[in-house]
A and B are shown apart, each in its own frame.
Chain A
Amino acid sequence: MKKALFVLLAFALAPAVWSQSNADTYHQAMQKHLAGLDTLYIASEWVARANAFERIAQAEPKQWLPLYYTALCYIQAFNFEEDKAQQKRYSEQAERFIARADAMQPNDPEITLLKSMAASMRVRLNPMLNGARYGRIADDMLDKAQQLNPDNPRVYVQRASNLYFTPRMWGGNKERAREMVGIAERKFSIFHPASDLHPDWGRNTLRYLRSLMENE
């Protein structure tokens, strides 16, 4: 009887002990993989980060941030990849993880921004087939992300980059892009992420856009 009770107790306590030690490890692991995220320039490095965040996600089924970063890494892998077939795979993976993150954290401004980015990826994969439909989803999601948090600088980085790289006849506008860069810079100066694990990327992209504009 005593033995049985002990086993029962051990089972009851185990998860508590496990998750307590986890809070630290979770934090450390996330920080480790977030470090230098802005400085990766090779698709395979982004995939490796995506895999790392995916591992954290499967070990931490209650956290949405690992799913968010997995998706973000696939989006970046897409941006640094040239092979169309690989790009397609990354786009599908990104959408998968966005959907999972979205299910846990509905109407989150940062996840909504990823939705917009994922739709833009679809457009870039096949403008003929996806242009009309996903172009609009991308616009709508960007608007929604801004509505959910008008102070999120990444929304304006994304707007700036859309305006800058889209051909003029498709609604691109370099003047407006420049304005957006300005807004994003102002928003960044007053932006504070909810925690050191929450999204805080985008400054590098902004600097890159600024440098492109100044070299014109």
Chain B
Amino acid sequence: MFSLPVSVRWGGFGLPAAIVFEMFFCAFGPVVNAQMTHVRGRVTDGATGEALPGASVWLVGTYDGATTDLSGHFAFTTERHGVGLVRISLAGYASDSVLIALQSDTVRLTFALREATARVGEVVITAGALEVSDRSRGAVLTPLDVVTVASAGADMYGALRTLPGAQVSTGDVEGLFVRGGTGSETQTFVDGLLMRHPFFASVPDFAVRGRFNPFLFQGTVFSTGGYSAQYGQAMSAVVLLETLDLPERTESRLSLTCLGASAGRQQVWERQGRAAGIEVNYTHLGPYFALVRQEPDFAQAPENVGGEAFFRQKTGANGLLKAYTYYNFGRVGFQSTAPDGQAQTFGLRNRNALTNLTWSGSLHKRWHLYAGASVSRDFSRISSAYTTVGQDTFSLRQTLAQGRLMATCALSTTTLLRWGAEHQAGIEVFENERYGRSMLPEHFTAAFAEADLTLGQYTALRAGVRFEYSALLQQSNAAPRLSLSHRAGRHGQVSLAWGHFYQKGDSLLRWREQWGALPGFQRAEHFIVQYQWLKDGRLLRAEAFYKRYAHLVSTNDGIGNEGYGHAGGLELFARNRALFGALDGWVSYSFLDTRRRFWWYPTAVEPPFAARHTVNAVARRFFPKLQTNLSLSYSGATGRTYWRPGQPAEALFTERTPAFHNLSISVSYLTRIGRAFAIAVVSVQNVPGVEQVFSYRFSPDGQTRQAITPPARRFFFAGLFLNWGADRRREVLENF
């Protein structure tokens, strides 16, 4: 057989030489000749050597070609003469081409295809990040998973708690406690903008839920460390939420649950590339609390009224303007008995308003621009009374305005550059009858630059740096970040990440007047090693991390940055994503070893928000005949340390609560009610009714203790979610 002096072979798509050649062929084609050339051969998987059936092999620019059989063989004939380009394509694999001479004999070809995922640019930086998405193949959860996890109760943060790295037994305080960090070390960003109040207003000894409706988002990344230089002011973790682009349909929604109701409507103007929607909701836990007895006694059961609205407008070919606004008013009040037997009351009223505006789009093929602005206000008024102390009222008013700009530029197919800046202007006014008033005006500026580089075929590197300046602290910092991913084998990937993460001292800053000073930035340094294996919806990952804390806010000897600490651990995650009708679910295990000295702690102790071992298992199955989805989840954690007054320094935080267990079940049934698509959901948290102790509170002398538990053993939820599409089903059928 004649072979060309240069055997030109192109792998992958879009190499310029191949395109030019193809254009040439499409225009002229090889010359026709009565004599036949036979092209035959075999196609295999380059990694395993297995035969690949169903692949298409053809002579470019002609109809001549064939499909490989079960043993990977193909054969076709062509009457063309001269030089031809044979191309092969199979879904899921990178296509391949080869130039051959067509001269009335038999040409034998073999192709060993690479999986398309091994293509350049497909190495995704994964260290630390856990993605929730419909679209990404590396995603660990889909948005639907979030709402169907039995233990989550349709709270996004509840679902994120079943992922490795997060604490599950911190049911006495809101927030995500990640890898030995406090809840405030995790920040939430919506479309790149910092959300100061992602949770409902804090209530002592209760974990409140996240504010946001999980259906608003098309993608969520939960990064438990080593994240991009785009994000700052989070020492432990970030939750990155991406709101939906243009919704597909005009529709109306109604949900009725045992806690309240909500109704919404969204309209899509397809031709104008525009959409708008509004949703109002009202929840009152009074009726539920009347049925299921709660401890303590709620004088004012949690009540919330609010609404949200959005607007989307396409601009140009691929620009999109997004506006979102949210308002909520909530109140709650209860009476309880303190460990020393005295009565105490607590009352809270909170108003929260938020408006976000973002635009993103391409200016040019290689340039992508993002601009965002947001204004938020939060007002909380808390009154508490304790028999011996009397009534005490304080209020906290927080206003934040922020702007953010970011540009992304593809310098080449292997280099992506990203840079931007953000500015936050905010003021916090804290008022208390006894301590007076303190004001914290802040102007915070940050700038960042980051490069994504593809080094060869299997390696990707991300290097970035972030600068921050706080006018309030009169301090600046520079945080370098690095991460590296390398494909190991067909389905494996090894990733490394390192970086510095700075954060201000949160609520302690409020006491500036009392301390007469302000603590500076705190710092965490992350080291992460990860191995991930992904094949056909099955994902395994193991991650080891070490985190070093420095300059933590301490108050032992006046306020300062004398604190320090460390956290190290190992996390495992395995998930099986069954397409449909099969068992689907995930398990995660986290080991955490951490000690820190901060706040008032006299020495480095094991902090009370860090269980050493945490386990989660979530299993779901959809039964097509019954149109029913059954979901079970179990979360378990070893005991947390707690503080008891009157202990000597060396014994502090050495006692532990009993282990925590939570088994939850959720059943959802899909049906139609009239013209509405309906989902009915019933779920129970802590089915066996195990006593769950989060921590203890003590009388001042340390002699009497009270367990901090959920307000009821079990939590029951029942809801009906209805969804109507407008102008749908004109019932053409009725016309016949």
Give the one of B67, B70, B92, B537 with max A CB within 10 A: B67
- A122-146: CB near B (< 8 Å → 1, else 0) gives 0001111101110111011001001
The yes or no answer to A99 lying at the interface (CB within 8 A) is no
The yes or no answer to A159 lying at the interface (CB within 8 A) is yes
A87 cross-chain contacts in B, Cβ below 8 A? 579
A170 cross-chain contacts in B, Cβ below 8 A? 627, 671-672
Say which residue of A15, A54, A125 sits within 8 Å of B56 (CB atoms): A54
Q: Known contacts A133-B249, A139-B728; decide if A128 and B629 are in contact (CB<8 Å).
A: yes
| Complexed CA–CA distance, A176 and B536 (Å) | 40
The yes or no answer to A167 lying at the interface (CB within 8 A) is yes
The yes or no answer to A48 lying at the interface (CB within 8 A) is yes
Say which residue of A85, A140, A143, A179 sits within 8 Å of B579 (CB atoms): A85
The yes or no answer to A56 lying at the interface (CB within 8 A) is yes
The yes or no answer to A9 lying at the interface (CB within 8 A) is no
A15 near B28 with CB under 8 A, answer: yes
The yes or no answer to B19 lying at the interface (CB within 8 A) is no
B672 near A169 with CB under 8 A, answer: yes
B580 near A84 with CB under 8 A, answer: yes
B61 cross-chain contacts in A, Cβ below 8 A? 58-59
B92 near A89 with CB under 8 A, answer: yes
The closest CB in chain B to the CB of A11 belongs to B28
The yes or no answer to B292 lying at the interface (CB within 8 A) is no
| Chain B count of residues within 8 A CB distance of the other chain | 47
The yes or no answer to A110 lying at the interface (CB within 8 A) is no
| Complexed CA–CA distance, A15 and B622 (Å) | 56
The yes or no answer to A209 lying at the interface (CB within 8 A) is no
A125 near B580 with CB under 8 A, answer: yes
A128 cross-chain contacts in B, Cβ below 8 A? 144, 148, 580, 622, 629, 670
Give the shortest distance, in Å, between B224 (CB) and chain A (any CB): 26
Give the shortest distance, in Å, between A56 (CB) and chain B (any CB): 5
The yes or no answer to B344 lying at the interface (CB within 8 A) is no
The yes or no answer to B435 lying at the interface (CB within 8 A) is no
Give the shortest distance, in Å, between A92 (CB) and chain B (any CB): 7
The yes or no answer to A197 lying at the interface (CB within 8 A) is no
| Complexed CA–CA distance, A47 and B28 (Å) | 28
Q: Known contacts A129-B144, A131-B677; decide if A29 and B63 are in contact (CB<8 Å).
A: yes
A143 near B536 with CB under 8 A, answer: no
A52 near B65 with CB under 8 A, answer: yes
Give the shortest distance, in Å, between B328 (CB) and chain A (any CB): 27
Say which residue of B27, B580, B729 sits within 8 Å of A127 (CB atoms): B580
The yes or no answer to B142 lying at the interface (CB within 8 A) is yes
| Chain A count of residues within 8 A CB distance of the other chain | 49
B730 cross-chain contacts in A, Cβ below 8 A? 143
B64 cross-chain contacts in A, Cβ below 8 A? 55
The yes or no answer to A51 lying at the interface (CB within 8 A) is yes
Q: Known contacts A18-B28, A47-B67, A131-B677; decide if A159 and B580 are in contact (CB<8 Å).
A: no
A136 near B725 with CB under 8 A, answer: yes
B729 near A139 with CB under 8 A, answer: yes
B655 cross-chain contacts in A, Cβ below 8 A? none
A169 near B27 with CB under 8 A, answer: no
B91 near A59 with CB under 8 A, answer: no
Give the shortest distance, in Å, between B41 (CB) and chain A (any CB): 15
B728 cross-chain contacts in A, Cβ below 8 A? 136, 139-140
The yes or no answer to B82 lying at the interface (CB within 8 A) is no
- B30-67: CB near A (< 8 Å → 1, else 0) gives 00100000000000000000000110101011111111
A125 cross-chain contacts in B, Cβ below 8 A? 579-580
| Complexed CA–CA distance, A56 and B58 (Å) | 10
- B131-173: CB near A (< 8 Å → 1, else 0) gives 0001000000010100010000000000000000000000000
Give the shortest distance, in Å, between A115 (CB) and chain B (any CB): 13
A140 cross-chain contacts in B, Cβ below 8 A? 728
Q: Among residues 52 to 79 in chain A, which have CB atoms less than 8 Å away from a CB atom of chain B?
A: 52, 54-56, 58-59, 61
B627 near A167 with CB under 8 A, answer: yes
B732 cross-chain contacts in A, Cβ below 8 A? 143, 146
- A9-26: CB near B (< 8 Å → 1, else 0) gives 000001100100100010
The closest CB in chain A to the CB of B579 belongs to A84
Give the shortest distance, in Å, between A81 (CB) and chain B (any CB): 11
A47 near B54 with CB under 8 A, answer: yes
Say which residue of A21, A61, A176 sits within 8 Å of B26 (CB atoms): A61
B725 cross-chain contacts in A, Cβ below 8 A? 136
Give the shortest distance, in Å, between B415 (CB) and chain A (any CB): 29
| Complexed CA–CA distance, A201 and B419 (Å) | 55
| Complexed CA–CA distance, A84 and B60 (Å) | 31
The closest CB in chain B to the CB of A25 belongs to B63
A-B residue pair count with CB separations less than 8 angstroms: 108
B54 cross-chain contacts in A, Cβ below 8 A? 44, 47-48, 51
Give the shortest distance, in Å, between B562 (CB) and chain A (any CB): 51
The closest CB in chain B to the CB of A183 belongs to B736
A126 cross-chain contacts in B, Cβ below 8 A? 579-580
Chain A residues close to B by CB (< 8 Å): 14-15, 18, 21, 25, 29, 44, 47-48, 51-52, 54-56, 58-59, 61, 84-85, 87-89, 92-93, 125-129, 131-133, 135-137, 139-140, 143, 146, 159, 163, 167, 169-171, 176, 179-180, 183
The closest CB in chain B to the CB of A90 belongs to B91
B296 cross-chain contacts in A, Cβ below 8 A? none
A127 near B733 with CB under 8 A, answer: no
A171 cross-chain contacts in B, Cβ below 8 A? 672
B622 cross-chain contacts in A, Cβ below 8 A? 127-128
Sample 16 A-B pairs with CB under 8 A, ordered by A number.
Answer: A25-B63, A44-B70, A47-B54, A58-B58, A84-B579, A85-B579, A89-B91, A125-B579, A126-B579, A127-B580, A128-B629, A133-B249, A136-B249, A146-B732, A159-B733, A180-B736
| Complexed CA–CA distance, A136 and B65 (Å) | 39
| Complexed CA–CA distance, A176 and B736 (Å) | 9
| Complexed CA–CA distance, A127 and B66 (Å) | 35
A159 cross-chain contacts in B, Cβ below 8 A? 733
B28 cross-chain contacts in A, Cβ below 8 A? 14-15, 18
A15 near B65 with CB under 8 A, answer: no
| Complexed CA–CA distance, A179 and B536 (Å) | 42
Give the shortest distance, in Å, between A213 (CB) and chain B (any CB): 17
| Complexed CA–CA distance, A166 and B433 (Å) | 66
Q: Known contacts A125-B579, A143-B730; decide if A51 and B65 are in contact (CB<8 Å).
A: yes
The yes or no answer to B287 lying at the interface (CB within 8 A) is no
A127 cross-chain contacts in B, Cβ below 8 A? 580, 622, 624, 627, 670
A169 near B144 with CB under 8 A, answer: no
The closest CB in chain B to the CB of A168 belongs to B672
Q: Known contacts A29-B63, A171-B672; decide if A129 and B142 are in contact (CB<8 Å).
A: yes
Q: Among residues 584 to 621 in chain B, which have CB atoms less than 8 Å away from a CB atom of chain A?
A: none
A143 cross-chain contacts in B, Cβ below 8 A? 729-730, 732
Q: Among residues 704 to 734 in chain B, which have CB atoms less than 8 Å away from a CB atom of chain A?
A: 723, 725, 728-730, 732-733
Q: Among residues 88 to 121 in chain B, which have CB atoms less than 8 Å away from a CB atom of chain A?
A: 91-92
Give the shortest distance, in Å, between B239 (CB) and chain A (any CB): 22
